[in-house]
């Protein structure tokens, strides 16, 4: 019998959709949810399942930012044959997002045994949640919030894109939390930092989902739970994206910082008392 049935797939899809783009660590929350449901967090099929349902969240990004993505894709296509078009920001931005994903891919492939083994521990998740909250708190305070999306350059893209490695190695740190914090440290405003995080997620999470597809379907996870989890994550993620962009336009990241610390300490308590196994 599959360790992930339809009910578990729905729960994990909701968790993924809510947390993928909030700076609170979707991987961490998924591992916590899996732990409560008795699902082995380090099983290859389970790791693959969580990577694949992220594609649902990425599909929500494609739908929500359809006009922006179409603009970038058009600019890139024109740049293939038009030298003048290659000097425009939209073309450069599209290329930079691809460049910024390369370090993540290299580290992901090289460190795969660690990521799916020792670093998958819930103790790592708990510590990373708290450590990541400290980084976000500092970034939100020392960042000057004076640069918009049109001010993003190659250095911004590479530094922010490379920050995703922290979340890859330390589940709980949060991919969106790492990228938003790095962007804030580059003095981007909160909306620009959040939008850059969204666009960087497209190649990163799409690639991870496709790479893990065989592992997810080759184990004891069926195609139906996989499809259900992906669909649920799409619907919930779309709503989460809309909410987050409105929130960051008017608020600091303090609420996320506090939430991460609380969840991290709560998880440590559950692990220390044996309620959950690492």
The per-residue pLDDT for range 124-137, each reduced to its tens digit, is 989 999 999 999 99
* Residue 263 within a domain: yes
30 inside domain:
yes
Which residues are CB-neighbours of 151 under 8 A, at least 6 positions away?
Answer: 188, 192
The verdict on residue 227 lying in a domain is yes
Strand partners for 188? 147
Tell whether the model's pLDDT for residue 2 goes beyond 60.
Answer: no
User: Smallest Cα–Cα separation from 248: which of 198, 203, 173?
Assistant: 198
**Over the stretch 113-123, which tens digit does the pLDDT of each residue have?**
888 788 878 89
Assess if residue 1 is contained within a domain: no
- For the chain, give the mean pLDDT: 90
Check whether 218 has a pLDDT greater than 70: no
CA dist 229 to 4, 57, 185, 200, Å? 10, 10, 35, 23
Q: Is the pLDDT of residue 38 over 90?
A: no
Q: How much is the pLDDT for 1?
A: 37
Give residue 27's domain range: 6-272
Spell 1-13 as b/e; 16+ CB within 10 A means b. Answer: ebbbeeebbbbbb
pLDDT exceeds cutoff 80 at 179: yes
Whether residue 252 is contained in a domain is answered as: yes
Sign of CA dihedral 232, 238, 239, 244: positive
What percent of the chain shows pLDDT beyond 90? 68
**Structure token pair of residue 146:** 């004076």
Average pLDDT over residues 148-161: 96
Domain membership flag for residue 278: no
In this structure, of 76-80, 111-115, 194-198, 221-225, the range with the lowest mean pLDDT score is 221-225
- Counting the structural domains of the chain, the total is 1
- Per-residue pLDDT band at 73 (split at 50, 70, 90): very high
pLDDT band (50, 70, 90) for residue 160: very high
pLDDT of residue 132: 95
pLDDT band for position 222 (cuts 50, 70, 90): confident
Residue 251 lies in a domain: yes
């Amino acid at each position: 019998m599959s360790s992930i049935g339809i009910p578990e797939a729905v729960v994990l899809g909701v968790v993924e959709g809510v947390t993928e783009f909030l700076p609170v660590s979707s991987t961490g929350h998924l591992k916590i949810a899996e732990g409560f449901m008795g699902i082995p967090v380090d099983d290859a099929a389970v790791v693959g399942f969580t990577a694949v349902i992220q594609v649902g969240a990425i599909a929500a990004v494609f739908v929500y930012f359809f006009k922006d993505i179409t603009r970038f894709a058009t600019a890139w296509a024109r740049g293939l044959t038009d030298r003048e078009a290659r000097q425009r920001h939209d073309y450069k931005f599209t290329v930079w997002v691809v460049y910024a994903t390369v370090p993540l891919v290299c580290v992901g492939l090289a460190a795969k045994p660690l990521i799916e083994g020792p670093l998958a521990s819930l103790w790592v998740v708990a510590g990373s949640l708290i450590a990541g909250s400290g980084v976000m708190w500092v970034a939100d305070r020392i960042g000057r919030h004076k640069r918009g999306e049109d001010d993003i350059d190659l250095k911004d893209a590479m530094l922010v894109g490379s920050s995703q490695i922290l979340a890859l190695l330390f589940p709980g740190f949060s991919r969106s939390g790492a990228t938003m914090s790095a962007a804030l440290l580059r003095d981007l405003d909160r909306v620009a930092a959040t939008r850059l995080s969204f666009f960087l997620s497209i190649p990163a999470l799409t690639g991870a989902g496709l790479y893990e597809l065989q592992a997810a379907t080759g184990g004891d996870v069926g195609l139906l739970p996989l499809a259900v989890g992906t669909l649920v994550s799409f619907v919930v993620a779309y709503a989460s994206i809309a909410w987050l962009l409105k929130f960051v336009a008017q608020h600091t990241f303090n609420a996320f910082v506090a939430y991460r610390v609380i969840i991290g300490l709560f998880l440590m308590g559950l692990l220390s008392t044996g309620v959950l196994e690492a």
